């Protein structure tokens, strides 16, 4: 089994084999994950220990689309709630279906039905919830189709692979009565919530700048490899879906899809969505007035990836600026942290990441003649506690049971704002221009940028419509 962080590095279950009882393992594993500020994937083989018998009338039945990585982590997490049963797995790779079914079996979960075409799975009337854990280029079609099929949906971030997809997904969900939670689980992480409460208290004074960053030292260059025949058991045409038709290349499949423009937006949309989301939350902001970006493939110019390994993006809002920056292969981020959010106020700076948050005060300046206003005390590191993904799933289930959208911690608008801002940054990078956003008309002041608002759908797939 694995401990999965958003960086997708893994710690072997064998690391904990000598800890004694299983109860000790669970406790110590949870503490370990909390210390990392990571998403802890509860060992699947221990699910049988935490699940109790529930009346069939009280069951909530789930189907998973996209069974690797965070898709399976999401399923594993929701199954810790005894009223939830998994009845279907959908993946284009039968090898993944087989592997994940074996994992579930070790936890006492009976074999779900298998699908390679998600549309067939959505016809299953036994399914109440759909979890979408596929590559980004599939999220829009699968979420809108799931809504049309009458399912509640948990959708991985970013919600979409273009600004146009973001808009149609927002409109579709808002026009329905379905519960939709986006996988921006930090919205349920207690120390993130506490940090934003402090920001909203006003103690930092006027906040003029917010910094967000992800320096990912674990990320090695993606080696160039030749195209090869499609592996046995893989429905590659289905994997491509609305993306351009290409020969099979291992670099573009499974995890590394995120570094290719056909399917995703690189670190800008992978990590940026999480961190920019909290910048927007802290500032009670939505979309910027303007954006500009610079960067490139500076560290690994000859590797196989397309998205930039180094990027700086500047967003203009009414009374503050937002900075995003990322770099792969190095960990030298701001404030000694390889990722984070910093709110820079007149009285002090609050720095937040998955490990905790702290406040760094500004110094008095006694040579200034006038009153300096309220002072601020330093707040030492407030360490992460609890498990954001666990709490996020509990919140999702509570919304489903009460049919109350208002209690969702990451509703579609939260996913919409973060994805829109992130994709705007990528468009600014591609054009090399400072772009001004026309919110009333949903476009930029730049014809070349407007050509990037949507991505053409291929292979017979049609862009979804509302209504």
pLDDT at 24: 43
Q: In the structure encoding, which two tokens stand for residue 232, read together? A: 């046995």
Distance between CA atoms of 314 and 400, rounded to whole angstroms?
38
Query: How far is 220 from 300, CA to CA, in rounded Å?
Result: 9
Helix or strand holding residue 402 (H, E): helix 388-402
HEC assignment per residue over 340-375: EEEEEECCEEEEEECCEEEEEECCCCCCCCCCCCCC
- The 8-class DSSP code of residue 67 comes to -
Q: Torsion over CA of 199, 416, 118 and 74, rounded to 10 degrees? A: 0
What is the model's pLDDT at position 193?
97
Please state, in angstroms and rounded to a whole number, the distance separating the CA atoms of residues 172 and 187: 22
Q: How high is the pLDDT of residue 19?
A: 35
Nearest of 378, 28, 352 to residue 189 by alpha carbon: 352
For 165, 287, 358, the CA distances from 419, given in Å and listed in that order, are 10, 10, 27
Q: What is the pLDDT of residue 11?
A: 32
Q: Cβ distance 53 to 135 under 8 Å?
A: no
Give the integer Cα–Cα distance in Å for 311 and 429.
Answer: 8
- What's residue 410's pLDDT? 98
List the end-to-end C-alpha distance of the chain, in Å, as a whole number. 43
Q: How far apart are CA 59 and CA 45, in angstroms?
A: 21
Per-residue pLDDT of the chain (467 residues; tens, 9 = 90+): 333 333 333 333 333 333 334 344 333 333 333 333 344 567 877 787 777 777 777 899 999 999 999 999 999 999 999 999 999 999 999 999 999 999 999 989 999 999 999 999 999 999 999 999 999 999 999 999 999 999 999 999 999 999 999 999 999 999 999 999 999 999 999 999 999 999 999 999 999 999 999 999 999 999 999 999 999 999 999 999 999 999 999 999 999 999 999 999 999 999 999 999 999 999 999 999 999 999 999 999 999 999 999 999 999 999 999 999 999 999 999 999 999 999 999 999 999 999 999 999 987 766 665 655 557 999 999 999 999 999 999 999 999 999 999 999 999 999 999 999 999 999 999 999 999 999 999 999 999 999 999 999 999 999 998 87
Asked if 413 and 170 touch (Cβ cutoff 8 Å), the reply is yes
Would you list the DSSP string of 296-315?
A: ES-S-TTSS--S-SEEEEEE
- pLDDT score at 28: 37
User: Can you tell me the distance from the alpha carbon of 156 to that of 145, in angstroms, rounded to the nearest whole number?
Assistant: 15
In angstroms, rounded to a whole number, what is the distance separating the alpha carbons of residues 85 and 287? Answer: 38
Q: Which of 160, 65, 80 is nearest to 396 (CA)?
A: 80
The answer for residues whose C-beta is within 8 angstroms of residue 265's C-beta and 6 or more apart is: 136, 158, 161, 258, 307, 422, 423, 426
Tell me which fold the domain 189-386+415-450 belongs to.
Dihydrodipicolinate Reductase; domain 2 (3.30.360)
Contact 353, 337 (CB under 8 A): yes
If we measure between CA atoms, which residue out of 193, 176, 184 comes closest to residue 410? 184
Domain ranges of the chain: 13-187, 189-386+415-450
Per-residue pLDDT, 367: 64
Distances (CA, A) of 409 to 175, 313, 369, 396: 19, 27, 46, 8
Distance between CA 270 and CA 307 in Å, rounded?
11
- The residue written with tokens 């666990």 in the block is 390
pLDDT computed for residue 10 by the predictor: 32
CATH superfamily label, 13-187: NAD(P)-binding Rossmann-like Domain (3.40.50.720)
Q: How far apart are CA 211 and CA 433, in angstroms?
A: 21
Q: What are phi and psi of 167, to 5 degrees?
A: -65, -45
pLDDT of residue 50: 77
| Separation between Cα atoms, residue 121 and residue 12, nearest integer Å | 32
Burial 286-302 (b: 16+ CB within 10 A, else e): ebbebbbbebebeebee
pTM tops 0.85, yes or no? yes
């Amino acid at each position: 089994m694995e401990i999965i962080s958003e960086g997708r590095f893994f710690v072997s279950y064998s690391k904990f084999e000598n800890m004694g009882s299983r109860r000790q393992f669970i406790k110590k594993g949870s503490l370990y994950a909390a210390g990392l500020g990571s998403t802890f994937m509860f060992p699947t083989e221990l699910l049988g220990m935490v699940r109790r018998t529930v009346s069939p009338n009280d069951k909530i039945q789930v189907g998973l689309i996209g069974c690797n990585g965070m898709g399976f982590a999401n399923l594993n997490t929701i199954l810790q709630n005894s009223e939830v049963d998994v009845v279907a797995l959908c993946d284009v790779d039968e090898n993944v279906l087989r592997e994940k079914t074996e994992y579930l079996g070790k936890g006492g979960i009976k074999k779900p039905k298998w699908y390679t075409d998600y549309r067939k799975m959505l016809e299953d009337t036994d399914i109440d919830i759909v979890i979408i854990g596929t590559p980004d280029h599939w999220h829009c079609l699968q979420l809108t189709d799931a809504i049309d099929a009458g399912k509640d949906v948990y959708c991985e971030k970013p919600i979409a692979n273009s600004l146009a997809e973001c808009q149609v997904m927002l409109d579709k969900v808002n026009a329905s009565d379905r519960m939709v939670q986006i996988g921006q689980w930090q919205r349920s992480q207690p120390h993130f919530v506490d940090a934003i409460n402090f920001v909203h208290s006003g103690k930092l004074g006027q906040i003029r700048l917010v910094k967000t960053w992800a320096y990912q030292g674990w990320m090695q260059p993606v080696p160039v490899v030749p195209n090869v025949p499609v592996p046995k058991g893989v429905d590659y045409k289905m994997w491509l879906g609305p993306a351009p038709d290409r020969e099979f290349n291992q670099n573009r499949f499974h995890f590394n899809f995120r570094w290719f423009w056909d399917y995703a937006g690189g670190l800008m949309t992978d990590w940026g969505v999480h961190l920019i989301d909290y910048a927007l939350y802290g500032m009670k902001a939505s979309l910027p007035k303007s954006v500009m970006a610079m960067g490139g493939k500076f560290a690994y110019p000859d590797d196989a990836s397309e998205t930039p390994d180094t990027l700086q993006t500047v967003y203009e809002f009414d009374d503050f600026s937002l900075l995003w920056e990322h770099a792969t292969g190095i960990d030298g981020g701001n404030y000694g942290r390889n990722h984070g959010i910093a709110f820079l106020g007149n009285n002090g700076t609050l720095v937040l990441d998955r490990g905790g948050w702290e406040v760094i005060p500004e110094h008095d300046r006694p040579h200034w003649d006038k009153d300096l206003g309220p002072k601020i005390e330093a707040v030492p590191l407030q360490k992460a506690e609890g498990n954001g993904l666990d709490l996020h799933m509990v919140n999702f289930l509570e919304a489903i049971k009460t049919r109350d959208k208002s209690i969702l911690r990451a509703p579609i608008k939260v996913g919409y704002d973060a994805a829109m801002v992130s994709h705007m940054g990528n468009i600014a990078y591609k054009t090399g221009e400072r772009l001004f956003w026309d919110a009333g008309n949903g476009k930029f002041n730049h014809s070349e940028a407007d050509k990037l608002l949507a991505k053409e759908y291929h292979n017979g797939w049609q862009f979804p419509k509302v209504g």
